[in-house]
Amino acid sequence: MTTSQQELLPATRRALLHRVAVAQSEGRTPSLAAAVVRGGQRVWDGARTSVEGHAPDENTQYRIGSITKTFTAVLVLRLRDEGLIDLGDPLKKHLPGTGAGEATIADLLAHTGGLAAESTGPWWERTPGTLRPELADVLGEQPHRHPVGRRFHYSNTGYTLLGALVEELRGAPWEEVLRREVLEPLGLERTSVRPQAPHAGGWAVHPWADVMLPEPTEDYGRMEPAGQLWSTTGDLARFAAFLARGDDRVLSERSVREMRTPAAPAEAADLGDGATYGLGMQILHRDGRLLVGHSGSVPGFLAGLIIGVEDDVAAVVLTNCTSGCPVFTVAADLVRIVADAEPRIPEPWRPLRDVDPATLELAGPWYWGTNGFALRLTADGLFSLEPLSGTGRRTRLQPNGDGTWTGLEGYFAGELLRVVRRDDGTVDHLDLGTFVFTREPYDDRAAVPGGVDPAGWRGIG
């Protein structure tokens, strides 16, 4: 797509600027920098500052806090994709002696490992990491707050363990592995463990007076994989495009899609927003829109990265204040402004290049009992199963190469679709996770479990 086709309309650009201006003013933050990505390209940058005649640009570093966790999750998924680990492995299989080894790697990624939210000892975000030189200093004598796998409980210490896992299996420091395997391939030249000029200073703004206090900038040591990174709106825009599409040099599209698939139960307080957590990514529904990404908060800085996957729009918002500016909400608003004002133009419809007749034979209406469904073969080579009533269980299914298909979402996610044929080769029925689909409602020619009354359909006699 050409640059001219990507450019936003003047009215959209003004609406974006208005939103960040209101956020900086009402949030009382010394500065705010933002960017919007559409179609994989950065299409808008905006900034507001309290310093007259100067504003941060797309190369100004801010600390991004827990967005660091998403980078760490990418490293862990790379290990999985290389076959070095399974997400179902208990941590102790690869990193023994931590005292938290019963939690699986997936538990740690999704914050369901039952671990404490914070490190033991003094406030780790405002004290040097040298106070916690070993994992035992981070975890303490009682690392757990809940039974493993029972509930979602956000845990910074869990990501410290994931960083240690990366170091153990790569034989190199987390920082070095991150630079080599993620930052350099994606061209994130302004993302680093320590600040590099130009960078913003972190400030605390007094809640009841328009005055400020500088926040200390500490190296977090063992806690680095949970919240150490500094980055820019330019680099995070590239990272957002990667999280939406994948990049085979780093992580496939299928694996980044897995990262944004719910993996943890929502807390009761979050049910209203449909908020949950995937594998290193936050997931929420707002105004009928599915949003994924991550927020970040450390003393002196707030950060938000949000992706509207269906809209193909992402937004990044960075500020240098401890509290007051709802950056995650602002980023979601920037996505909404672009998506509502300039809806995504779909790609042209194109037919499949070729199709197996045995596959095409399966397309069309099917019935589970008396419930009607349509099985549609789509241009991406997947099947789409949708209820004819418009409501009910639906899924997309991908081919396995052996005549079977696997469900990708919803009730049928992971379930196997098999084609059951008669002795003469004709299709008798489809079996999807033991659900029998026939060409007619309770087709008496098919092997329907429990059989079909031989008297057939009838009225009230």
Assigned token pair, 441: 């409602």
- Average pLDDT for 367-394: 93
Q: What angle do CA 117, 118, 123 make, to 5 degrees?
A: 150
- The per-residue pLDDT for 200 is 96
Angstrom distance (rounded) from CA 131 to CA 343: 51
pLDDT band at residue 46 under the 50/70/90 scheme = very high
- The per-residue pLDDT for 368 is 96
Angstrom distance (rounded) from CA 298 to CA 30: 15
Instruction: Catalogue all structural domains in the chain, each as residue range(s) with its CATH number.
Output: 30-341 (3.40.710.10), 357-437 (2.40.128)
- The per-residue pLDDT for 73 is 98
CB 321 within 8 A of CB 330: no
- The per-residue pLDDT for 270 is 61
- The per-residue pLDDT for 4 is 39
- Nearest CA to 227 out of 180, 277, 176, 280 is that of 280
Q: What is the mean pLDDT of the chain?
A: 93
- Measured from the Cβ of residue 95, the count of other Cβ atoms closer than 10 Å reads 21
pLDDT band at residue 250 under the 50/70/90 scheme = very high
The pLDDT tens digits for 270-308 are: 655 668 999 999 999 888 899 999 999 999 999 999 999
The pLDDT tens digits for 335-367 are: 999 999 999 988 898 888 888 899 999 999 999
Provide the b/e sequence for 176-191 (b: ≥16 CB within 10 Å).
Answer: ebbbebbbeebebebb
Q: Which residues pair with 54 in a beta bridge?
A: none
Judged against a pLDDT cut of 60, whether residue 204 lies above it is answered with yes
Angstrom distance (rounded) from CA 251 to CA 338: 27
Angstrom distance (rounded) from CA 141 to CA 427: 61
- Average pLDDT for 134-151: 91
Angstrom distance (rounded) from CA 58 to CA 35: 8
- The per-residue pLDDT for 272 is 56
Assigned token pair, 85: 């680990």
Judged against a pLDDT cut of 50, whether residue 11 lies above it is answered with yes
